[in-house]
C-alpha cells in the first residue's frame, strides 16, 4: 500500500500568522512503525523512562532523609545517575547507530557531554571530608560543559552577551571566594575559576545562537537547549553556595531538580531532523496510535492525552 504523508510547512519570517507550525508525519502502512518528527510533545513520550527515574530518585531520597528507610551511599549515588543514563540513551536513539551519531557533531558532543556529566555527578556525590572529590568531579563536569559549548558552536559571537556572562561569572566567583573558596587551597581556587568560566561560557554560547525567529517558530529545540544552560547555572550556583558558603536546608532538592531540567532541555536540543519509532506490536499499542493520530491536529487534545498517560502511570 502507498505511504501517507501529512506535511505542514514551517512559518517563515514573512509568512502570515495563519501558517502552522512545522510538523511532519510519515505513516508507512507496510511497516510496523509510525515515525513522527519534530514535535516536542511526542518526543516527551520517549522520555517517560527519564521521568520515572527522576520520580524514583526523589521519592527514595525524601524517604531516606526523613528516616523512614536506610539506603547505602553507593546505591543513592547510582540512583542519582540513572536519569542521565536515560537521557544518554534517548540522545543515542535519535541516531540509532554509532556510525550515524559519529557523523553528527552536535549529537555526538551532547551525548559525550551527558556521559561526562554522569561521571562527574558520581564523584561529586561522595563526601570524604575534603575537597578531593569535589575538585575531580568539577573537573570532569567542566569537560562536559566544554562539550556542550563546542556543540553550540561560536557563531554568532554575541559580544554583548559575552560581556554580561563574564561579569556575572566574575561577581559570582568573587562571592564564593570571599565566602570560603579562599580557605580551600590553591588548587580549588584555580580550578574554581576555570569551572566558572566553563559554566558561564556554555550559557553564553547557548543563548548566542537564539534569535527572535527561533522563539516564534517551530525551532523549539534550539530554545530549550539555551534554556537548559540557564537551569544549569542555577543548579551549580545552589550547589557551590551549599558547599563553600553555608549549608542550605533542602539544597539537594533544589540542585537536583534544576539540574535534571537543565540536562533534559539540553538533551532535547538534539531532536532536529530526527524521528521516533512507535511500535505497533499489539492491539493496545495500535489503539494508542489511533488516539494519537486523532488528537495530533489539536494541540490541546494532544496535551490532555499526554497528561492523562502521566497520571495513569503515577497512580495505576
Neighbour count for residue 270 (Cβ, 10 Å): 26
Tell me the pLDDT band of 7, cut-offs 50, 70 and 90. very low
Which of 21-30, 264-273, 287-296 has the highest average model confidence (pLDDT)? Answer: 264-273
The confidence score (pLDDT) of residue 216 equals: 58
Residue 99 pLDDT grade (very low, low, confident, very high; cuts 50, 70, 90): confident
pLDDT at 181: 74
Q: What is the pLDDT of residue 256?
A: 96
Q: What percent of the chain has pLDDT over 70?
A: 69
Q: What is the pLDDT of residue 97?
A: 79
According to the model, what pLDDT value does residue 282 have? 52
Q: Which residue has the cell 522520555?
A: 47
The share of the chain scoring above pLDDT 90, in percent, equals 39
**Which pLDDT score is estimated for 296?**
53
Q: In this predicted structure, what is the pLDDT of residue 149?
A: 96
With b meaning 16 or more CB within 10 Å and e meaning fewer, what string describes 252-266? bebbbbbbbbbbbbb
Q: In this predicted structure, what is the pLDDT of residue 31? A: 37
pLDDT tens across 107-125, in order? 999 999 999 999 999 988 8
Greater pLDDT, 261 or 316: 261
Predicted confidence at residue 53, as pLDDT, reads 93
| Higher per-residue pLDDT: 289 or 250 | 250
Q: What is the rounded average pLDDT for all residues in the chain?
A: 78
3-state secondary structure string, the chain?
A: CCCEEEEECCCCCCCCCCCCCCEEEEECCCCCEEEEECCHHHHHHCCHHHHHHHHHHHHHHHHHHCCCCCCCHHHHHHHHHHHHHHHHHHHHHCCCCHHHHHHCHHHHHHHHHHHHHHHHHHHHHCCCCCCHHHHHHHHHHHHHHHHHHHHHCCCCCCHHHHHHHHHHHHHHHHHHHHHCHHHCCHHHHHHHHHHHHHHHHHHHHHHHCCCHHHHHCCCHHHHHHHHHHHHHHHHHHHHHHHHHHCCCCCHHHHHHHHHHHHHHHHHHCCCCCCEEEEECCCHHHHHHHHHHHHHCCCHHHHHHHHHHHHHHHHHC
Phi, psi of 209 (to 5 degrees): -90, 5
- 212 confidence band (pLDDT: 50, 70, 90): low
pLDDT digits (tens, 9 = 90+) for 149-201: 999 999 889 999 999 999 999 999 988 888 777 777 787 888 888 999 999 99
For residues 6-18, give the mean pLDDT.
40
- Which of 32-41, 159-168, 300-309 is modeled with the greatest confidence? 159-168
Nearest to 243 by CA among 312, 181, 161: 181
- Is a pLDDT exceeding 50 seen at residue 292? yes
pLDDT value at residue 208 = 92
Q: What are φ and ψ of residue 14, in 5° steps?
A: -100, 10
Tell me, what's the pLDDT at 221? 80
What is the per-residue pLDDT across 59-75, written as a single tens digit (0 to 9) for each?
999 999 998 999 888 89
CB 245, CB 179: distance < 8 Å? yes
Amino acid at each position: 500500500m502507498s505511504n501517507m504523508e501529512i506535511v505542514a510547512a514551517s512559518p517563515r519570517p514573512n509568512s502570515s500568522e495563519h501558517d502552522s507550525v512545522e510538523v511532519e508525519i510519515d505513516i508507512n502502512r507496510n511497516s510496523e512503525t509510525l515515525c513522527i518528527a519534530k514535535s516536542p510533545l511526542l518526543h516527551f513520550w520517549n522520555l517517560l523512562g527519564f521521568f520515572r527515574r527522576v520520580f524514583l530518585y526523589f521519592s527514595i531520597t525524601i524517604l531516606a532523609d526523613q528516616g523512614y528507610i536506610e539506603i547505602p551511599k553507593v546505591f543513592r549515588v547510582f540512583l542519582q545517575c540513572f536519569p542521565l543514563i536515560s537521557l544518554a540513551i534517548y540522545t543515542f536513539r535519535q541516531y540509532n547507530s554509532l556510525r550515524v551519531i559519529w557523523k553528527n557533531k552536535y549529537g555526538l558532543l551532547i551525548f559525550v557531554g551527558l556521559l561526562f556529566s554522569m561521571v562527574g555527578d558520581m564523584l561529586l556525590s561522595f563526601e570524604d571530608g575534603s575537597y578531593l572529590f569535589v575538585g575531580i568531579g568539577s573537573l570532569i563536569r567542566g569537560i562536559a560543559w566544554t562539550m556542550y559549548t563546542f556543540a553550540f558552536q561560536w557563531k554568532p559571537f554575541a559580544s554583548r552577551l559575552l560581556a554580561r556572562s563574564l561579569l556575572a561569572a566574575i561577581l559570582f566567583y568573587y562571592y564564593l571566594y570571599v565566602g570560603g573558596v579562599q580557605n580551600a587551597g590553591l588548587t580549588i581556587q584555580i580550578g574554581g575559576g576555570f569551572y566558572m568560566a566553563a559554566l558561564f561560557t556554555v550559557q553564553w554560547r547557548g543563548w548566542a545562537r537564539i534569535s527572535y525567529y527561533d522563539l516564534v517558530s517551530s525551532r523549539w529545540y534550539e530554545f530549550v537547549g539555551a534554556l537548559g544552560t540557564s537551569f544549569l547555572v542555577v543548579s551549580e550556583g545552589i550547589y557551590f553556595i551549599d558547599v563553600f558558603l553555608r549549608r542550605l536546608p533542602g539544597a539537594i532538592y533544589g540542585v537536583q531538580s534544576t539540574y535534571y531540567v537543565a540536562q533534559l532541555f539540553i538533551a532535547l536540543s538534539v531532536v532536529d531532523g530526527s524521528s521516533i519509532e512507535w511500535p505497533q506490536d499489539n492491539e493496545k499499542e495500535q489503539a494508542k496510535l489511533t488516539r494519537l493520530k486523532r488528537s495530533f491536529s489539536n494541540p490541546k487534545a494532544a496535551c490532555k492525552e499526554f497528561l492523562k498517560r502521566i497520571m495513569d502511570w503515577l497512580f495505576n
